[in-house]
Amino acid sequence: MLRMESVVKQYRHRGQVIRALDEVDLSVEKGDFVAVVGPSGSGKSTLLLSLGGMLTPTRGRVHLNGESLYDLAPAARARMRRERIGFVFQTFNLVPYLTALENVQIPLMLARAAEEEQHRTGVSLLEKVGLADRLDHKPAELSVGQQQRVALARMLANDPEIVLADEPTGNLDPDTTIEITEFLVELNSEGKTVVMVTHNQETASRAKRMLWLVDGKVYSEKPRKETRPLSRR
Partner 1 sequence: MNLGKLVWREFSERKNQLVTGFLAVLLGITVIVSIKNITFYSEKAVARELDALGANILILPKSASLQDYYSADLQDEEFPEEYVTRLTLSDLQGLDNLSPRLSLPVELGGGSYVLTGILPKNEFQAKAAWLGAGIFARPQGCGDVGIPAEEAAAVTPPVTTPEGCGPDGTPAEGTGAGAGGAQAQETLVRRTVIDTLDSTEALAGAEVAAALGLKQGSTVDLLGQTFTVSAVLPQTGTVDDGRIFAHLHTVQRLAGKGSVIQAIEVVGCCNQISQGLVQKINRLLPEAKVVTITQIVDTQIKTNRMMSRLSLIFLGIIVLVGGASIANYMFANVFERRREIGTLMALGANSSFVLRAFLAKALMLGLAGGLAGYVLGTILSVTLGPRIAGVPVFPRLVLLGWAVLISVTLSLAASYFPARRASRLDPFTTLQEM
Comparing C-alpha atoms, which of 205, 179, 206, 193 is closest to residue 86? 193
Interface residue list for partner 1 (CB under 8 A): 45-46, 49, 52, 54-55, 74-75, 78-79, 81-83, 87, 89, 91, 93, 95-98, 102, 105-111, 115, 118, 154, 158
Question: Please, which residue, 82 or 209, has the CB nearer to partner 1?
Answer: 82
Listed residue (74, 87, 79, 66) closest to 2, CA to CA: 66
What is the chain's Cα-based Rg? 18
What 3-state class would DSSP assign to 168? Answer: coil
Q: How far is the CB of 7 from partner 1 (least distance, A)?
A: 14
Q: Quick one: 78 or 214, whose CB is closer to partner 1?
A: 78
Q: Which distant-in-sequence residues (6+ apart) come within 8 Å of 47 by Cβ? A: 4, 21, 24, 26, 36, 197, 213, 218
Nearest distance in Å: CB 106, partner 1: 6
Q: Return the number of the residue (84 or 210) whose C-beta is nearest partner 1.
A: 84
Please report how close the Cβ of residue 98 comes to partner 1 at its closest, in angstroms: 6
Q: Which is nearer to partner 1, 110 or 185 (CB)?
A: 110
Q: Smallest distance from the beta carbon of 228 to partner 1, in angstroms?
A: 29
Nearest of 45, 42, 50, 41 to residue 6 by alpha carbon: 50
Least distance (Å) from partner 1 to the CB of residue 62?
13
Q: List Cα–Cα distances, 100 to 75, 195, 207, 218, in angstroms.
A: 27, 25, 28, 37
**What count of Cα atoms within 13 Å lies in the side-chain half-sphere of residue 231?**
9
Looking at the Cβ atoms of 142 and 210, the one nearer to partner 1 is 142
Pairing of strands 162-166, 85-88: parallel
Residue type at 134 in one-letter notation: R
Whole-Å CA distances, 27 to 6, 41, 75, 101, 193: 11, 22, 25, 35, 12
Q: Which CB sits closer to partner 1, 50 or 210?
A: 50
In the complex, what is the shortest distance from the CB of residue 157 to partner 1, in angstroms, rounded to a whole number?
8
Looking at the Cβ atoms of 13 and 232, the one nearer to partner 1 is 13
Shortest Å, Cβ 229 to partner 1: 23
